[in-house]
Structure 1
Amino acid sequence: MNKHEQYFNYSFLSKEDINLFDEKGFLVIKKILTPSGLTQMREECMKAWNAQKQAFDPSKSWLQNSLLVNIHHQSSVARNYYFEGPLVDIASQIIGPNIKGATSQLTFKMRGNTKPFGWHQDNGYGELEPYNALTTLTALDDTDRGNGCLWLIPGSHKQGQIKVKQTEEQKTKQAEIIVDADEDLAVPMEMEAGDALIFNCWMLHKSDGNYAGDRDRRILFLRYADADAVEVYNNRKPRLGRLVKGSSIFEEVRAFEKEL
């Protein structure tokens, strides 16, 4: 028995799953968290959130209201899920044998947060090469159109990296990177709590505001990348992240966060 099976449901993608991912650019993994895992993840993530965040404040930026970075430093169940959970094997089926964690954060739209987040690619915010990074969103609440679920455009990853220029002022203010998209092609990614959505780094996606009134929309965002992925926007320096499978040509990656 895997030491984390109390919290996580382990599985592998079938050949049909992988073909569908290649064609559509996304998959939903049902009930990747067990009921115990979902309860523990909520408790630990909310403890971290409440220690640093307040109620939604419309005068604050989307970063202040919606993001808490490096949640794996503050939650043992999130850390185990990130480094040793079922998403690691799933990522290796899509990316390859050498994998590192690239991002861990909470992406919350708490009740009252009606701010939408426009169309973008995750690789637009942190361009990594090779272009096979994988975004994973694990729902801690039922997510639907009422509380601001994700929308995406199936197959949009096939257009590749969309180059977006930002002014220095926009970079300083950490402004959103919005791209054009055909709204008629969009589909809502409604999920049950405990499900995970995985998608290609070039997938066009957005989210609307949370208009549910009495419900939150809490998501655990984990990103995985090739162990040798470099940051195109940062003079091609290696993206630092803990190795979760295989090895890397970069010594700084091999040594990163070994204490955790």
Structure 2
Amino acid sequence: MKKDDLFNYRKLTKEELASYNENGFLIIKGILKQEGIDQMRKECMAAWEKEKEGFDPNKSWLQNSLLVNIHHQAPTVRDYYFEGPLIGVANQLIGPNVKGATSQLTFKMKGNTKPFGWHQDNGYGELEPYNALTTLTALDDTDRGNGCLWLIPGSHKQGQIRVEQDEAQKKSQSEIVVDADDSLAVPMEMKAGDSLIFNCWMLHKSDGNYSTDRDRRILFLRYADADAIEVYNNGKPRLGRLVSGNTRFDEVRTFEATI
């Protein structure tokens, strides 16, 4: 199946770019066509069911909600990640030189009522320059009933928030939670096939999925400047496939994240 049968390609308008700069986020509606939604769900669920069991309240958020490097197991995700319409969006928001930084599933299946507190994605993997993008593509309709994301518009303007963790917290991969004013939060309700794009400093959280019959399945893809380094790792370059332009790092230029 051709990519044009699966994905909708378009450029962001001047109004959308201005809104992103001011508010720190955008929702792009219908970035996946119905064929793309169906195929991506099929591949992602096959991978999920292969590695995950049902929700277990005694397991960590990582065990219950995340499946990393999903592009290794899902060809449609791989095409979307490396050659899909998000590349053009990243070029407009980051620049001509971009690499893929993360691909994972972030699922809250029905019964998973665990909330995820306020945080910045750059708090979990601090990249410099500070222009990395998080993209969340909905595989289901997401709303307040099944654990949609909440964010605080404009909160990216405060920059990187430092949260101290001791060695035990780091080893256990505990959550990095920051203080935020819940009264400023806005729910990011989306239809399946929509994609939420936001700045690496955006404060966001999610509540639990209290629906009895609906899952909340999201594809998480992160993009960064091709020369982005890992601040937390002695300034080493973040490895990821170069999806546009060039880089000064040979190890990034030659890196191939293939299935």
**If the TM-score is normalised by the length of the shorter chain, which range does it land in?**
over 0.9
Deviation of residue 46 (structure 1)?
0.2
Query: Deviations 1:111-134 (Å, cap 9, x if unpaired)?
Result: 100000000000000000000000
SS in 1 for 2:38: helix
Amino acid at match of 2:83: E
Q: Give the structure 1 partner of residue 244 of structure 2.
A: 245
Letter in 2 for 1:83: F
Q: Deviations over 1:77-134 (max 9, x none)?
A: 0000000000000011000000000000000000100000000000000000000000
Q: Which residue of 2 aligns with 1:128?
A: 127
* Cα distance between partner residues in 1 of 2:222 and 2:66: 14
Which residue is 1:105 aligned to?
Answer: 104
SS at match of 1:223: strand
The answer (yes or no) to whether the contact 2:20–2:26 under 8 Å persists in 1 is yes
The alignment partner of 1:40 has SS state of helix
Alpha-carbon spacing, 1:176–1:132, altered in 2? closer, same or farther (3 Å)? same
Superposed, 1:87-166 pairs within 5 Å as 87-166=86-165
Partner of 2:39 in structure 1?
A: 40
SS at match of 2:79: helix
For 1:259 and 1:121, the matched residues in 2 are separated by 28
Give how far 1:258 is off. Answer: 6.4
In structure 2, the CA distance between the partners of 1:169 and 1:221, relative to structure 1 (3 Å rule), is same
Q: Is the 8 A contact 2:240 2:257 kept in 1?
A: no
Cα deviation, residue 259, structure 1? 5.2
* Residues in 1 aligned to 2:140 and 2:198: alpha-carbon distance in whole angstroms: 19
Count of residue pairs brought into register by the alignment: 259
What is the CA-CA distance between 1:15 and the residue it aligns to? 1.0
Counterpart AA for 1:104: S
C-alpha distance in structure 2 between counterparts of 1:90 and 1:172, whole Å: 35
Q: Which residue of 1 aligns with 2:176?
A: 177
CA distance in 2, matches of 1:203, 1:191: 18
Question: What is the rounded CA distance, in whole Å, between the counterparts of 1:258 and 1:75 in structure 2?
Answer: 13
Q: Provide the C-alpha distance between the structure 1 equivalents of 2:153 and 2:121, rounded to a whole number of angstroms.
A: 15
- Any gaps of 5 or more consecutive residues in structure 2? none
TM-score normalised per structure 2: 0.99
How far did 1:213 drift? Answer: 1.1
Structure 1 distance, partners of 2:214, 2:54, is 13
Residue 228 of structure 2 aligns with which residue? 229
Q: 1:209 to 1:15 in 2, by over 3 A?
A: same
Aligned equivalents of 2:207 and 2:257: distance in 1? 38
Instruction: Give TM-score scaled by structure 1 length.
Output: 0.98
2:8 is matched with: 9
State the identity as a percent: 74
1:3 deviates by 3.8
Conserved in 1, the CA contact under 8 Å of 2:97 and 2:244?
A: yes
Equivalent position of 1:214 in the other structure: 213
What's the secondary structure of 2:5's corresponding residue? coil
Unaligned stretches of 5+ in structure 1? none
Structure 1 residue 135 displacement after superposition: 0.2
User: Separation in 1 of the partners of 2:246 and 2:212?
Assistant: 46
Q: Which amino acid aligns with 2:14?
A: K
Matches within 5 A, 1:22-37: 22-37=21-36
